[in-house]
Chain A
Amino acid sequence: MKIKPLQIIAHIILILGVLLMVVPIWISFASSSHDSVTILTEGMKFHIGDQLARNYNEVLNEKGGWSEEVTAAKMFINSFIMALGIATLKVVISAMSAYALVYYRFKLAVPIFWLIFITLLVPLEVRIFPSYKIVSDLGLTNSYTGLILPLVASATATFFFRQFYKTIPDELLESAKLDGANAWSFFIDFLVPLSKTMIAAMFIFMFVYGYSQYLWPLIMTTAEEYWTVVMGMKIIYTESYEGVALPRTAERFAYIILSMIPPVLVVVFLQKWFIKGLIQTEK
């Protein structure tokens, strides 16, 4: 096969793009395998050093915080629970509310949809005080419920599900009705399997969204056992800055690399559905 010049250019651009994304991660990873002192004196590294196991072991198991009890592992678990809860509930609630908006032809469906849509303009940061007031009045501060609940309503996902349901032909519903499907079984037997790829995509986005929350957990949690990974980044920084004479740069890199793993795993597991959806159009 002859290679066209255009293809070469396209590949060069793609390779540049890949390098742009991969090189910083590699530097972080390589640097996380050295001694903090080495990095401070010699700069960031491109090759793997000999401190890999020690650094990661330290990051995962060292107890920190004011109480000297919270570990990075605990923070990972917290973040994972929070992101999982947010992503799952967001997908479930959005899919169901979109179902109601599209298939139940009640009079206010359109105004209600736009009302939901407008909430896009009011992100959590804007309504953080009222949200905090509500959650604290409910006694949910320092709990997973409090971390997850205020973030589960999603206008974006509702919008996408609504648009998708609207493309499903009416005959499918009618046919299912004649086959004896009720409202619930139509949702479970038809809409959910048909929107598999949609669900996977939304789940990934929402997982990353939940995982990278910073302000809300910061305000919500006073007990260290509910700290999340993103909060931890700040804590490690402070701790090393004040506690020890030298910043523990290598451990920080190790921490960053570790913190990337859960979202990466989610993408890796769910991309199968993504690709499947792209290859075979089942509609």
Chain B
Amino acid sequence: MSFLDLKNVTKIYPNGTKAVHETSLSVDEGEFMVFVGPSGCGKSTLLRMVAGLEDITEGDINLDGKLINEVDPSERDVAMVFQNYALYPHMNVYNNLAYGLKNRGIDKETIEQKVNDAAKLLQISDYLQRKPSMLSGGQRQRVAMGRAIVRNPKIFLFDEPLSNLDAKLRIQMRLEIKKLQQKVGVTSIFVTHDQVEAMTLADRLAVINNGIIEQLGTPIEIYDNPKSLFVAGFIGSPQMNFLDGNIKNKTLSAEGFEIKDIDSDFEGEVKLGIRPEHLSQRENSLINLKVDLVEQLGSDNLVYGQLKDKKDFCYRCPGNLTIEKGADLSLNIENNKYYIFDKSTGKRVN
């Protein structure tokens, strides 16, 4: 049995909403697991069930070999960082960190030692006497993490902790969280709707949609090999292009072009997915794109345009290529990196 084990966990709210469907998942000790999905997909609910803040309707959660379904949150030995930090506004930073330890009846000297160590680790030693209202967003974030670290819990839970920070700080804190987790080595679950955050932080990633884990794997596995239409569309930025098509006798025909000898026995209506970065310009290629708009990001250009059938399409090319608005491009799918999904079920078929 792994460190954290969820078995057929289901959450149905009293009003009948089913937030999480029979989800099973295991997290190994020291692993950094990320739950990613759109808002309302049940990822936070799942996290809160691990924390004990939501009741489990059905299923079992085991932590460190112990069934914790009915264990009070205070006894679970988990620490959580909230989206709005939930710092204790009337206590200074020191007491914010020390509160959990005091409740455990730890003696004063040990508390002081632990708080100072955590503060040093997070570089908040200078603010220990301040109230949270006197701290900046990034500093509050650190205090929230310090409060989690200082208890030395079995598992860290992060509930979208970076979404209140500005873009620059978010990237910086993202790095720090990752470094910190590696240093401390505590098993962590991180919930986010930001796929970049998910990709960069995760050892393993669970893409969640409508209360179901659509796919579980390392970030690269999921990026390279999405198993469903939803995962393919959710992971990757800019989003994967999707085209309608039809397969007959191993030949896929989409509007304006055909792909022969595809690696699938599927027949019928499909969606063809092509990532913008898996394209290159080559004479007489499959896809003809009329350019509407070019976003120059410096390192890359994002080229937006329309295919023959007026479908929106995106192509990502190196930043040193100059592409004019209105140009006609001929694009080739590199290394045959395309994805085919059953249109009715959304499942991958190639």
Say whether A associates with B: yes
Q: Tell whether, in the assembled complex, residue B79 and residue A178 are in contact, meaning their CB atoms are under 8 Å apart.
A: yes
Mark the stretch among B18-26, B86-94, B235-243, B246-254 that contacts chain A: B86-94
Given A194-B90, A282-B133, A177 contacting B82 (CB threshold 8 A): no
Given A169-B84, A171-B84, A179 contacting B100 (CB threshold 8 A): yes
B53 at interface (Cβ–Cβ under 8 A)? yes
Q: Tell whether, in the assembled complex, residue B78 and residue A282 are in contact, meaning their CB atoms are under 8 Å apart.
A: no
Mark the stretch among A55-63, A76-84, A185-193, A220-228 that contacts chain B: A185-193
B52-93 CB contact bits vs A (8 Å, 1 = yes)?
A: 110000000000000000001111101110111010111000
Residues 176-211 (chain A) with a chain B CB within 8 angstroms: 176-182, 185, 189-190, 193-194
B103 at interface (Cβ–Cβ under 8 A)? yes
Q: Please, how many angstroms separate the alpha-carbon atoms of A179 and B75 in the complex?
A: 9
Q: Tell whether, in the assembled complex, residue B82 and residue A171 are in contact, meaning their CB atoms are under 8 Å apart.
A: yes
Residue of A nearest to B104 (CB): A180
A259-283 CB contact bits vs B (8 Å, 1 = yes)?
A: 0000000000000000000001111
Q: Please, how many angstroms separate the alpha-carbon atoms of A194 and B132 in the complex?
A: 14
Which among A177, A179, A180, A283 is the interface contact of B53 at CB below 8 angstroms? A177
Q: Please, how many angstroms separate the alpha-carbon atoms of A189 and B89 in the complex?
A: 11
Residue of B nearest to A180 (CB): B103
Residue of B nearest to A194 (CB): B90
B174 at interface (Cβ–Cβ under 8 A)? no
B131 at interface (Cβ–Cβ under 8 A)? yes
Residues 118-176 (chain A) with a chain B CB within 8 angstroms: 169, 171-172, 174-176
CB of A259 to closest CB in B, whole Å? 37
B258-283 CB contact bits vs A (8 Å, 1 = yes)?
A: 00000000000000000000000000
Given A190-B88, A194-B89, A282-B131, A178 contacting B51 (CB threshold 8 A): yes
Secondary structure call for the A interface: helix
Q: Please, how many angstroms separate the alpha-carbon atoms of A193 and B84 in the complex?
A: 20
Residue of B nearest to A182 (CB): B74
B11 at interface (Cβ–Cβ under 8 A)? no
Q: Tell whether, in the assembled complex, residue A181 and residue B103 are in contact, meaning their CB atoms are under 8 Å apart.
A: yes
CB of B93 to closest CB in A, whole Å? 14
* B-side contacts of A182, CB under 8 Å: 74
For A, the interface residue count at a CB cutoff of 8 angstroms equals 21
B99 at interface (Cβ–Cβ under 8 A)? yes
B193 at interface (Cβ–Cβ under 8 A)? no
Q: Please, how many angstroms separate the alpha-carbon atoms of A193 and B90 in the complex?
A: 7
* A-side contacts of B103, CB under 8 Å: 179-181, 185
B147 at interface (Cβ–Cβ under 8 A)? yes
Which among A171, A189, A194, A281 is the interface contact of B86 at CB below 8 angstroms? A171
Which among B76, B86, B99, B133 is the interface contact of A169 at CB below 8 angstroms? B86
Q: Please, how many angstroms separate the alpha-carbon atoms of A169 and B73 in the complex?
A: 18
Q: Please, how many angstroms separate the alpha-carbon atoms of A179 and B79 in the complex?
A: 8
Q: Tell whether, in the assembled complex, residue B74 and residue A178 are in contact, meaning their CB atoms are under 8 Å apart.
A: yes
CB of B154 to closest CB in A, whole Å? 12
Q: Tell whether, in the assembled complex, residue A178 and residue B80 are in contact, meaning their CB atoms are under 8 Å apart.
A: yes
* B-side contacts of A171, CB under 8 Å: 82-84, 86
* B-side contacts of A179, CB under 8 Å: 74, 99-100, 103, 147, 151
Q: Please, how many angstroms separate the alpha-carbon atoms of A282 and B130 in the complex?
A: 12
> 4 closest A-B pairs (Cβ-Cβ)?
A180-B103, A171-B86, A179-B100, A175-B86
Q: List 28 A-B contacts (CB under 8 A).
A: A169-B84, A169-B86, A171-B82, A171-B84, A172-B88, A174-B86, A176-B88, A177-B53, A177-B72, A178-B52, A178-B53, A178-B78, A178-B80, A178-B100, A179-B103, A179-B151, A180-B74, A180-B103, A180-B104, A181-B99, A189-B99, A193-B90, A194-B89, A194-B90, A280-B133, A281-B133, A282-B89, A282-B131
Besides A179-B74, A180-B75, A190-B90, 17 more A-B contacts (Cβ < 8 Å) are: A169-B84, A174-B80, A174-B82, A175-B80, A175-B88, A178-B51, A178-B78, A178-B79, A179-B103, A179-B147, A179-B151, A180-B74, A181-B74, A181-B99, A181-B103, A182-B74, A193-B90
Q: Which residues of A contact B (CB under 8 A)?
A: 169, 171-172, 174-182, 185, 189-190, 193-194, 280-283
